[in-house]
Chain A
Amino acid sequence: MTPRLLIAAASLAFAACSLDINNPNAATEETVVSSAAGLRAVAIGLQGRFGNSLAEAVWIPGLMGGELGTTNSSLSQHREFQRFPDASANTPRIEPVNSDLLNFWSRHYLVVRSADDVLQNLSKVTLSPATASAMSGLAKGMKGYALGTLAEAWQQIPVDITGTQSRYVSRTEALTTVLSLLQSAQQDLAALPSAEFNTQVLVTGLDLSNTVRLWRARFSLAAGQFQAALTEANAVPLNAASEFRYSTTDQNPLWAAFTASRYFGAIASFRTGAETGDSRVNRYTGATTLSAFGGAALNPLAIFAAGGEAFPLISQDELALIRAEAIVRGNLTGDPLTHINAVRVRAGLGIRSTTDLPNQTALLDEILKQRQYSLISTGARWADLRRFGRIVQARAAWLPYPDSERANNPNTPPDP
């Protein structure tokens, strides 16, 4: 026996030991996107990602729009977005490396990515036409929502992310894409009811059709398409309810940030500036004072009482105020006061007449004020300031682009 022989023998013996080992912790791309079951799982994961994207889209616009403040000066990822103390030399810069800035950006693009996974592979797997159509509606709806939310925070955004260095488009172009996605989603969802989709894919509590209608109304308003905004808002029934549900183990991140950790509070002027008798004040905030960075007095947010509480996706107040705003801004047929008063009555306030709100300016002021109280901590405030021409009240008009985006995508525009 010679060494060479032995090595040959050893090689033969070891040839049986495969070096290709499957990963038991995860599935591979090929197996997932090429099967109906895999694609259904991605459609479920897409909704999970949508749920994960909600938190930063609330508190960053909330801080930027000046309705929220931070309590912990050492958490610079929150503090940098805060409007207080404004105009002082101590206002920190929003660093491009800010981890929440990246989370806000990337979590919405993760929604887009999972939506694209569904949309690009639907035709390659065997699904019933009804299920395929509903899954397409889900993916387009959530992609449209994610891009629309990004378009309300960054001046330009990529809407097509199939390459590694996506092209940026203007806000107008982005909103056009958003609205066409949402419109197409509505068509897909209106096609055929799919029991398979409703039981196996759609998460419980989500009224997809009406949620997509609300989104379309919201972003139509942002795009100045008032008739579409009114039509879609009107199409949502008055009893429509839709929410993203959490559980005791997969907890609502806003409950953690607002209630458990008290990282954020509502600025005190929310309580002090309210009309007497406004029931929303005590529904959404507490009376105690939180110490705050920058000297702003804050009150605790009382929106979510428990970790398992759901995040509401449809607010009848928002729908009513979209209707009112669309009518006022678009000079459309209808009485904005009906919608404003519906909100006021729900809040325990007296109704307003044309004497109280005689002109467009007064109506818009009232709409903005009602939006402020009904939609606190939903992320709406910052975009409202922009739409109502009061962006000077905000921390800044737009966010800077995350550092890792700039470092890896040469198309990234300069920071505003």
Chain B
Amino acid sequence: MRCIFRLLTALLIAAPAAATAQLTVRGRITDETGRGIPFAQVLVADARQATSSNEEGIYRLLVAAPASPLALQYRAIGFKSRRVSLQQTSGEAIQDVRLDRDVLQLSQITVAATRVETERAQLGASLATINADQLQNAAVPQIDAALTGKIAGALVQLNSGTPGGGTSVRLRGLSTISRSAEPLYIIDGVIVDNSSNQLIDLGGYTSNRLADLDPNDIERIEVVKGAAAAALYGSRANNGVVQIFTKRGRSGALQTTLRLAVGQDAVETRLPVNRATVNAAGVSVTRYDWQDDLFQTAGTANAQLSLGGGDDKTQFFLSGGYLNQEGVVRSTDYQRANFRLNVDRELTSWLRLATTTSYSNANASLQPNGGLTTSFGVLTGFFFNSNDRNLRRDPTTGAWPAGQAFSNPLEVIANWQAPQRVSRFTGGTTLTAVPIEPLTISYRFGFDTYADQQSQFVPRGGSATALVQGLAISANLRAQLINSDVDAVYKWPALGRLQLSTSAGSNYQQQKFDGTIARAEDLALLVQTVQGSRQFASQSRDERRILGFYGQQQASWGDLLTVTAALRSDASSAFGADVRQQYFPKFGGTLDISSLKGYEEVAGKWVNRLRLRAGLGKSGEQPPGSFDRFSNYVFESSADKAGLVNSTQQGNQQLKPERARELEFGADIELLNGRLGVEVTRFDKRVSDLILPRAVTPSSGFIQQLANVGELKNTGLELLVRAFNVRRKNLTWNTSVTYATNNPEVTQVSSGGAFFIPESFNIIRVDKGQAPGHFFGTTYVRDSQGRILNAQNQPIADANGNVTSIPAIGTRKIIGDPNPGANWSLINEVTLRSSWNVRVQVDGVRDLDLFNFDRRLLETPAFGVGAAYESELTGKVPRGYFQARRSIFEEYIEDGAFTKLREVSVSYSTPASLARAIRARAATVTVSGRNLKTWTDYRGWDPEANAGGQRTLVRGFGFGTVPIPRTVQFSINLNY
């Protein structure tokens, strides 16, 4: 820590003198239809003094010591920026401004790619921005889930419908095999943890820790998909970077917003069950469908109160939120409380302080649903109990029938517990100094810490034979992340049309994790904590430090050309001293053809703006464990003594970061007088030095070693089309379409060749020349016409298509690929009379296969819960058909393409008079729906959910996973 504060003192040196004269500028900022633009920025050209408009578009800016003429810049998200020159230097000036819509959003100011405030128009690499208004009616409590379909080139996969369940975000495909493929998340400059800590395997719905953020607090999100991230985030940037900015206070009257929402979640589909009146022995039986006893229509309630305001020197934003959500699986729920205080303060005329603090506390009551290492649970209980068994509690004895295999799901719902708790504080402070006019130096300190407690309790004497003595697990993880950054930006005086800006900085990160897990078996009766006759405990700590420096030079020639070059050097404690220092260069360039002299006459009528861009960058990724390079001696107990043995993982002091080289080209085209914008990008990302376990000769006394042995590539196309179809004062209609393709391929694995991914039921494999993590399993034996053959090499079906014999089990082959070939979205938004707003989003994925393990269990004769198995009981297929078929995994690979009606929202802003009746300034009522309808050929509950959770390569795995619920929500927004 000492090293961090030493820097602070370095910053607080010598202040220039303050000035005296004052000018107040006020006015209204409107769009082309005359409506006020809320939260538009007004800046004095050197960016030292700034304000923003209120919700009606009205602004007031106090300028100390105004220059004459005074250059003011007006900016708003979604609009082209505009410069205005003022002659007046004192008193009060009134200046109304109209801004034009920016279909390409090239005027948007971004910082994620360069750390310097840069217009998107100057970026060589593509960067996506999302604003609060695109998210606020998404009706989803996790921000990453709300990103679905919003960004071209981002594949957002909802892995579980459990409340608080996790989401995977893949920017331009997978960039790694052995470690997390999630992007790096930065909130208000604080590098935050987004781990999916599966301390207990409950079945693939571990939260990723972005779940702790309240989406209502978010102002804006910037997503850097690739190469551009290189220089600023170096050895952690292979998966891309997502920067989130939370709301901040604005000077002026106190803005109070109260948002109340209630909603309902339900499971969209029910699987057809076996209704045969006899069992395999021919005995007549009663059949049950337990789905309605396992699922429920779940209620949700969400309230958020925020206060924002301040004066010219100090602004604050304070918010508190509470979410209470029931899960669609009975006896599960989730509560989250959030608190945030963001404060901005001008300390002196040259020094500003911005702080951000947030606290969140999440409590979830969950239930196990199988998983990749265990099969107990509610939804797995549906598959693992023949549906001719009555699972209800015996009304006279009060005993629960034992589960046929594993557990009785009704007893799990009634008696088992899996409480989870996360308590988290995230805070950051930024000091920005302008010691001399064109030089800005900022120092940022970020701190993120949480305690994640996961526990599970199975009472003694329950329905699961293997756990009849009871089980209690308590797992705790403490995480602490610190980042400490210095950035300096120097904008050189303009040399004619040449503008130069130089930036440099350092970045220090430290992260510590400390995990303990305690487990007890054979519990005392009624005891719910870890106390039993067999107790186990273990602990593991991880600590990593990263120190990086970067320098960046940007040069612009008018609006025509911008070129950026940067170099970052990173050293991480995870690597050996000899290979620790790594360099990551980046280049970007953009050429605005439409600003060429004479363009206007030649093509300006058709193509209003044409910008070409290219980017090339290198970035890195670190190994999963901070101590992976060492040849460790680890604990080995030996009856009554504690000993040490060499770890079977041999150390590798030469371990280096995984390195990505990303090249992208693109064009931004504005057509039809700014009504249609097209962004198209082609990317080619090659990752080398993938850190993979390499088998070591086992007779050497080691089993494996981590080494930089793999290579993969992703190539694809991203397309974004935005259209202002109708733009009138009383009616606007916007459409946006995204379409992104990706073609991933593993181009090199270690000399041992293909390998299976651990905990994938030995069905997911990595092969050279294939997509990463494809399905590999047993197949049908077929003849040249593709007919399925039996063991005697005869077709199993007769000429009429009736199955008459049992299929033979063929060799294991590649049978599917869960990596989507493309994903797309279509969003339409209509605003009527500025009081009605309707938004509809449809999105989907294409070209992928899913492994429907659920269906395999449904037709497994031992349980036979699914309707398919009826055909064997009624004699339509020969006896033994399904017992043979369950061994042929090819059968259960299904087309996973789907289209979802993702979001529908209708909001109505009441007239001011009505709002005043309830003493509010404005009131908005919204009805929104989410995941309302799914169109798919997949025959499970949900093609989106994945039993592997956020695991990098266990994708598309349908095994007892909670489906993503259909949500309907009613909300009211009141502004005071």
At the interface, yes or no: A269 with Cβ under 8 Å from chain B?
Answer: no
- B695 partner residues in chain A, CB cutoff 8 A: 404, 407-408
Q: Is the CB of A1 within 8 A of B547?
A: no
- For the complex, give the distance between the alpha carbons of A16 and B510 in Å: 13
* Chain B residue at smallest Cβ distance from A77: B762
Do A19 and B701 contact each other (CB < 8 Å), given the known contacts A3-B504, A407-B752?
no
At the interface, yes or no: A38 with Cβ under 8 Å from chain B?
Answer: yes
A103-152 residues with Cβ-Cβ distance < 8 A to B are: 105-106, 109-110, 112-114, 116-117
- For the complex, give the distance between the alpha carbons of A87 and B623 in Å: 48
Q: List 30 A-B contacts (CB under 8 A).
A: A1-B439, A3-B503, A9-B7, A13-B6, A16-B2, A19-B573, A19-B580, A20-B573, A21-B626, A23-B626, A25-B632, A26-B634, A26-B647, A29-B632, A29-B651, A41-B642, A42-B645, A44-B642, A45-B638, A45-B643, A47-B638, A47-B643, A102-B703, A113-B700, A157-B699, A164-B700, A247-B640, A250-B639, A407-B753, A408-B751
* Chain B residue at smallest Cβ distance from A44: B643
B: residues with CB less than 8 A from A are: 2-4, 6-7, 10, 13-14, 435-436, 439, 441, 486, 488, 490, 502-506, 508, 510, 533-536, 539-541, 543-545, 547, 549, 571-573, 577, 580, 626-627, 630-648, 651, 695-703, 751-753
- B13 partner residues in chain A, CB cutoff 8 A: 1
For the A-B complex with A23-B626, A28-B630, A203-B639 known, give 8 more contacts whose Cβ atoms are closer than 8 Å: A6-B486, A12-B6, A25-B632, A45-B633, A105-B698, A165-B697, A404-B695, A407-B695
At the interface, yes or no: A246 with Cβ under 8 Å from chain B?
Answer: yes
* Chain A residue at smallest Cβ distance from B754: A97
- For the complex, give the distance between the alpha carbons of A245 and B637 in Å: 11
- B643 partner residues in chain A, CB cutoff 8 A: 41-48
At the interface, yes or no: A294 with Cβ under 8 Å from chain B?
Answer: no
Partner of A404, one of B543, B626, B632, B697: B697
Q: Is the CB of A106 within 8 A of B703?
A: yes
Partner of B699, one of A2, A23, A407, A409: A409
Chain A proximity of B4: nearest CB distance (Å): 8
Q: Is the CB of A21 within 8 A of B544?
A: yes
- A16 partner residues in chain B, CB cutoff 8 A: 2-3, 6
Q: Is the CB of A17 within 8 A of B545?
A: yes
At the interface, yes or no: A392 with Cβ under 8 Å from chain B?
Answer: no
- A25 partner residues in chain B, CB cutoff 8 A: 539-541, 627, 632, 634
Chain A proximity of B38: nearest CB distance (Å): 37
- B490 partner residues in chain A, CB cutoff 8 A: 3
- B752 partner residues in chain A, CB cutoff 8 A: 403-404, 407-408
* Chain A residue at smallest Cβ distance from B486: A10
Q: Is the CB of B645 within 8 A of A13?
A: no
Determine the interface band of chain A, counting residues with CB < 8 A from chain B: 35 or more
| A to B contact number (C-beta, < 8 Å) | 228
Q: Is the CB of A29 within 8 A of B533?
A: no
Q: Is the CB of B439 within 8 A of A114?
A: no
- B642 partner residues in chain A, CB cutoff 8 A: 41, 44
- A11 partner residues in chain B, CB cutoff 8 A: 506, 549
- For the complex, give the distance between the alpha carbons of A41 and B643 in Å: 4
* Chain B residue at smallest Cβ distance from A17: B3
- For the complex, give the distance between the alpha carbons of A19 and B235 in Å: 15
- A10 partner residues in chain B, CB cutoff 8 A: 7, 10, 486, 505-506, 549
Q: Is the CB of A6 within 8 A of B488?
A: yes
- A9 partner residues in chain B, CB cutoff 8 A: 7, 10
- For the complex, give the distance between the alpha carbons of A41 and B490 in Å: 59
At the interface, yes or no: A413 with Cβ under 8 Å from chain B?
Answer: no
Q: Is the CB of A20 within 8 A of B699?
A: no
* Chain A residue at smallest Cβ distance from B10: A9
- A385 partner residues in chain B, CB cutoff 8 A: none
At the interface, yes or no: A51 with Cβ under 8 Å from chain B?
Answer: yes
- A61 partner residues in chain B, CB cutoff 8 A: none
At the interface, yes or no: A402 with Cβ under 8 Å from chain B?
Answer: yes
Partner of A408, one of B632, B638, B696: B696
- B543 partner residues in chain A, CB cutoff 8 A: 21, 24
The 5 closest A-B pairs by CB, nearest first: A113-B701, A44-B643, A45-B643, A48-B638, A26-B632
- For the complex, give the distance between the alpha carbons of A38 and B540 in Å: 21
Q: Is the CB of A117 within 8 A of B504?
A: no
Q: Is the CB of B573 within 8 A of A21?
A: yes
Do A161 and B535 contact each other (CB < 8 Å), given the known contacts A41-B644, A110-B648?
no
Q: Is the CB of A46 within 8 A of B645?
A: yes
Q: Is the CB of B488 within 8 A of A7?
A: yes
Q: Is the CB of A164 within 8 A of B646?
A: no
* Chain B residue at smallest Cβ distance from A409: B697
Do A26 and B541 contact each other (CB < 8 Å), given the known contacts A109-B699, A246-B639?
no
By CB atoms of chain B within 10 A, which of A14, A27, A114 has the most?
Answer: A14
Q: Is the CB of B644 within 8 A of A45?
A: yes
At the interface, yes or no: A171 with Cβ under 8 Å from chain B?
Answer: no
- A110 partner residues in chain B, CB cutoff 8 A: 645, 648, 701
* Chain A residue at smallest Cβ distance from B698: A106
- For the complex, give the distance between the alpha carbons of A250 and B632 in Å: 22
Chain A proximity of B125: nearest CB distance (Å): 24
Do A203 and B641 contact each other (CB < 8 Å), given the known contacts A105-B699, A110-B648, A248-B533?
yes
- A109 partner residues in chain B, CB cutoff 8 A: 698-701
Chain A proximity of B206: nearest CB distance (Å): 22
* Chain A residue at smallest Cβ distance from B522: A248
- B637 partner residues in chain A, CB cutoff 8 A: 48, 250
- For the complex, give the distance between the alpha carbons of A45 and B752 in Å: 30
Q: Is the CB of A205 within 8 A of B645?
A: no
At the interface, yes or no: A213 with Cβ under 8 Å from chain B?
Answer: no
Q: Is the CB of B633 within 8 A of A26?
A: yes
* Chain A residue at smallest Cβ distance from B644: A41
By CB atoms of chain B within 10 A, which of A21, A105, A161, A204 has the most?
Answer: A21
Do A7 and B631 contact each other (CB < 8 Å), given the known contacts A1-B435, A19-B573, A21-B544?
no
Q: Is the CB of A44 within 8 A of B697?
A: no
By CB atoms of chain B within 10 A, which of A12, A16, A106, A164 has the most?
Answer: A106
- B549 partner residues in chain A, CB cutoff 8 A: 7, 10-11
Q: Is the CB of B701 within 8 A of A23?
A: no
Do A161 and B701 contact each other (CB < 8 Å), given the known contacts A11-B549, A25-B627?
yes
At the interface, yes or no: A249 with Cβ under 8 Å from chain B?
Answer: yes
At the interface, yes or no: A49 with Cβ under 8 Å from chain B?
Answer: yes
- For the complex, give the distance between the alpha carbons of A90 and B151 in Å: 52
- For the complex, give the distance between the alpha carbons of A158 and B701 in Å: 12
* Chain B residue at smallest Cβ distance from A24: B541
- For the complex, give the distance between the alpha carbons of A409 and B752 in Å: 11
* Chain A residue at smallest Cβ distance from B642: A44
- B535 partner residues in chain A, CB cutoff 8 A: 249
The digit string for A216-258, where 1 denotes a CB below 8 A from any CB of B, is: 0000000000000000000000000000111111100000000
By CB atoms of chain B within 10 A, which of A27, A51, A102, A158 has the most?
Answer: A27
Chain B proximity of A246: nearest CB distance (Å): 7
The digit string for A145-189, where 1 denotes a CB below 8 A from any CB of B, is: 000000000000110010111100000000000000000000000
Q: Is the CB of A3 within 8 A of B627?
A: no
- B545 partner residues in chain A, CB cutoff 8 A: 17-19, 21
Q: Is the CB of A249 within 8 A of B534?
A: yes
Partner of A13, one of B7, B639, B647, B696: B7
- For the complex, give the distance between the alpha carbons of A279 and B549 in Å: 77
- A7 partner residues in chain B, CB cutoff 8 A: 486, 488, 504-506, 549
- B702 partner residues in chain A, CB cutoff 8 A: 113
Chain B proximity of A413: nearest CB distance (Å): 12
Chain B proximity of A85: nearest CB distance (Å): 15
Do A408 and B697 contact each other (CB < 8 Å), given the known contacts A13-B6, A48-B638?
yes
Do A249 and B486 contact each other (CB < 8 Å), given the known contacts A3-B439, A7-B549, A244-B639?
no
By CB atoms of chain A within 10 A, which of B3, B545, B631, B646 has the most?
Answer: B646
* Chain B residue at smallest Cβ distance from A40: B643
At the interface, yes or no: A342 with Cβ under 8 Å from chain B?
Answer: no
Do A245 and B640 contact each other (CB < 8 Å), given the known contacts A10-B506, A19-B580, A48-B645?
yes
* Chain A residue at smallest Cβ distance from B640: A204
Q: Is the CB of B703 within 8 A of A44?
A: no
- For the complex, give the distance between the alpha carbons of A403 and B545 in Å: 38
